[in-house]
């Protein structure tokens, strides 16, 4: 692998001049420029970004921390990020915590050690050590999906989204509305969506039976299981069920179908997230489209603003969601 030194020697100029040619800066005679470009062409020389960034303190790399790498949410987010960042010449360094919270801190440090120009964090559970670590990081930073005070955030209004969906279900004439959520440690998906559901029910003067509120994890089987629990243990059977993710909703649908009931005639189902599945499952699932790709684009935009010198202070960008009416309600 050729270095700038070799190029300089072969073109009979100094390294300084080669650097000027590469970066199109300073004064270089046409003469010298031609010779240098010639030698670069011949040798297939590619400058070391590594050496460059050691000097310039810029890497053109953005670190992305994901809770799970192989989900629709993550891949849409990354797509949106890449859409904006690639145009500006930034690369994405991916890290995957696999939902292990300690790894978030580990990766934060690792990304710092690699001198990334910025970090995007998609966390699930926010705790104090994590916040402390972020605060002493001093690198352009954007968090998505979960609110962290003092930072740039790209969020959904999970509480209102949940309320909107309940109101929609109510308007469709359902009164016994059940809920499948997740652990409330996940503030956005667990806590806020549940709070939205409960408050909306209260505002509509609808009663909620204990067994109507189930807690699952992020997969189809869990949705199935929650629905079964609900049907097995509830005194009055629900006439509709809202799940905080499409996968949970689809699991619930599976149970309902297996139980010989029809959707939405016997039990209506709503999901959240607008997964691909939701469109093709039968009946097609009514759900909320959160547009993760837009979140990615927005987050990338906020990050670039910080990188380009914007002052570093709390900033919240709310991304709109959209209710997709289909035939499960």
Partner DNA sequence: TATTTTTATGGAATCGATTCCATAAAGAAG
Partner DNA sequence: CTTCTTTATGGAATCGATTCCATAAAAATA
Contacting positions for a second copy (CB under 8 A): 1, 44, 46-51, 53-54, 59, 61, 69-71, 74-76, 78-79, 82, 86, 91-96, 109-110, 112-115, 136, 138, 220, 250, 276-277, 280-282, 293
Helix axes 128-135, 101-113, angle to 10 degrees: 10
- C-beta separation of 25 from 68 below 8 A: no
Q: By C-beta, is 5 or 87 nearer to DNA?
A: 5
Beginning with the edge strand found earlier in the chain, give each strand of the sheet holding 268-270 in spatial order.
Answer: 213-216, 177-182, 240-243, 268-270
Length of the chain: 329
Q: By C-beta, is 37 or 92 nearer to a second copy?
A: 92
Please enumerate in sequence order all residues whose Cβ is within 8 A of that of 329, keeping only pairs 6 or more positions apart, or say none. 168, 169, 172, 174, 240, 264, 268, 269, 270, 286
Instruction: Indicate the helix (H) or strand (E) that contains 157.
Output: none
Residue 61 touches which of DNA, a second copy, none (CB < 5 to 8 A by kind)? a second copy
Residue 4 touches which of DNA, a second copy, none (CB < 5 to 8 A by kind)? DNA
Least Å from the CB of residue 44 to DNA? 12
Mark residues 18-47: x for contact with DNA by CB under 7 A, - for none. Answer: xxx-xx-xxxxxxxx--------------x
Q: By C-beta, is 104 or 168 nearer to a second copy?
A: 104
Least Å from the CB of residue 177 to a second copy? 24
Q: How far apart are CA 152 and CA 210, in angstroms?
A: 37
Which window, 16-24, 144-152, 212-220, 266-274, contacts DNA (CB under 7 A)?
16-24
Mark residues 105-144: x for contact with DNA by CB under 7 A, - for none. Answer: ----------------------------------------
Residue 239 touches which of a second copy, DNA, none (CB < 5 to 8 A by kind)? none
Long-range contacts of residues 295-298, Cβ cutoff 8 Å, at least 24 apart: 295/77, 295/80, 295/144, 295/145, 295/154, 295/156, 295/319, 296/76, 296/77, 296/78, 296/79, 296/80, 296/81, 296/82, 296/83, 296/84, 296/144, 297/80, 297/81, 297/83, 297/84, 298/80, 298/154
Q: Determine which residue in the list 34, 38, 42, 48 makes contact with DNA, applying CB under 7 A.
A: 48
Please enumerate in sequence order all residues whose Cβ is within 8 A of that of 260, keeping only pairs 6 or more positions apart, or say none. none
Least Å from the CB of residue 37 to DNA? 12
Q: By C-beta, is 244 or 292 nearer to a second copy?
A: 292
Task: Give the three-class secondary structure for 250.
Answer: helix
Helix axes 220-233, 246-258, angle to 10 degrees: 50
Least Å from the CB of residue 114 to a second copy? 5
Q: Taking CB under 7 A as the rule, does residue 14 contact DNA?
A: yes
Residue 70 touches which of a second copy, DNA, none (CB < 5 to 8 A by kind)? a second copy
Q: By C-beta, is 93 or 213 nearer to a second copy?
A: 93
The residue count for binding DNA (CB under 7 A) is 32
Least Å from the CB of residue 285 to DNA? 51
Please enumerate in sequence order all residues whose Cβ is within 8 A of that of 316, keeping only pairs 6 or more positions apart, or say none. 147, 152, 153, 155
Residue in the block written with tokens 């992305």: 64
Q: Taking CB under 7 A as the rule, does residue 265 contact DNA?
A: no
| CA angle centred on 122, ends 280 and 96, rounded to 5° | 90
Least Å from the CB of residue 153 to DNA? 30
- Taking alpha carbons only, the member of 287, 262, 290, 249 closest to residue 169 is 287
**Binding interface with DNA (CB under 7 A):** 1-5, 12-20, 22-23, 25-32, 47-48, 50-52, 54-56
């Amino acid at each position: 692998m050729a270095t700038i030194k070799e190029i300089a020697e072969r073109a009979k100029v100094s390294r300084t001049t080669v650097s000027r040619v590469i970066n199109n800066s300073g004064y270089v005679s046409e003469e010298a420029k031609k010779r240098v470009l010639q030698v670069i062409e011949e040798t297939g020389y590619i400058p070391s970004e590594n050496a460059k960034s050691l000097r310039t303190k810029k890497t053109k790399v953005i670190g992305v921390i994901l809770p799970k790498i192989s989900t629709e949410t993550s891949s849409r987010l990354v797509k949106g990020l890449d859409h904006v960042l690639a145009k500006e010449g930034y690369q994405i360094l991916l890290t995957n915590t696999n939902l292990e919270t300690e790894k978030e801190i580990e990766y934060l440090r690792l990304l710092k050690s690699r001198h990334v120009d910025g970090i995007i964090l998609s966390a699930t559970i926010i705790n104090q050590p994590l916040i402390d670590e972020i605060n002493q990081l001093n690198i352009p930073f954007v968090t998505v999906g979960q609110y962290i005070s003092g930072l740039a955030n790209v969020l959904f209004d999970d509480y209102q989204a949940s309320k909107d969906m309940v109101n929609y279900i109510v308007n469709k004439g359902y009164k016994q509305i059940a809920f499948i959520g997740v652990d409330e440690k996940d503030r956005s998906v667990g806590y806020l969506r549940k709070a939205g559901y409960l408050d909306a029910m209260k505002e509509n003067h609808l009663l909620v039976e204990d067994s109507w509120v189930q807690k699952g994890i992020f997969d189809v089987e869990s949705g199935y299981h929650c629905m079964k629990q609900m049907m097995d243990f509830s005194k009055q059977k629900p006439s509709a069920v809202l799940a905080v993710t499409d996968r949970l909703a689809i699991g619930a649908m599976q149970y309902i179908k297996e139980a010989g009931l029809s959707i939405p005639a016997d039990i209506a189902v709503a999901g959240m997230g607008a997964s691909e599945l939701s469109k093709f499952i039968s009946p097609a699932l009514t759900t909320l489209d959160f547009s993760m790709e837009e979140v990615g684009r927005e987050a990338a935009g906020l990050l670039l603003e910080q990188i380009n010198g914007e002052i570093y202070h709390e900033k919240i960008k709310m991304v709109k969601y959209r209710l997709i009416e289909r035939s499960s309600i």
